[in-house]
Amino acid sequence: MAKVSKPKLTRSQRARNLFNAGVRPVRTADGWLVMSSSGKEFYDVTETGGCLYCNCPDSVFRSHQGELCYHAQLVELCLGFDRMVCADDVDAPIVVF
């Protein structure tokens, strides 16, 4: 279990909040541009071999935890992907919406 000092939204809750707020990924030539929950930044989400990758710090530094960051999860929500688990994340918990 991760240490949590105070109640914190999960990544899937953040993605759902953005989705409910009407935030949608913007299609680009390479993937999608997703606004952060602060509304100040945008991150690039790309798909490679059925897996989504994001260039945000959460994804870059914590992707080994096997959970997609909320930007990638928002893309999933909007595209109707069931779930995506990368081949090197077979032990990862499955995110269920």
Q: Where does this chain bind Zn ion (CB under 5 A)? A: 43, 54, 56, 59, 69, 71
Minimum distance, C-beta of residue 94 to Zn ion, in the bound complex (Å)? 19
Minimum distance, C-beta of residue 56 to Zn ion, in the bound complex (Å)? 3
In the block, tokens 């993937």 appear at 31
Helices 70-79 and 11-20: angle between axes, nearest 10 degrees: 50
Looking at beta carbons only, is 31 or 71 nearer to Zn ion? 71
How far does Cα 50 stand from its chain's mean position?
14
Looking at beta carbons only, is 69 or 77 nearer to Zn ion? 69
String of DSSP letters for 15-53: HHHHHHTT--PEE-SSEEEEE-TTSS-EEEEEEETTEEE
Minimum distance, C-beta of residue 59 to Zn ion, in the bound complex (Å)? 4
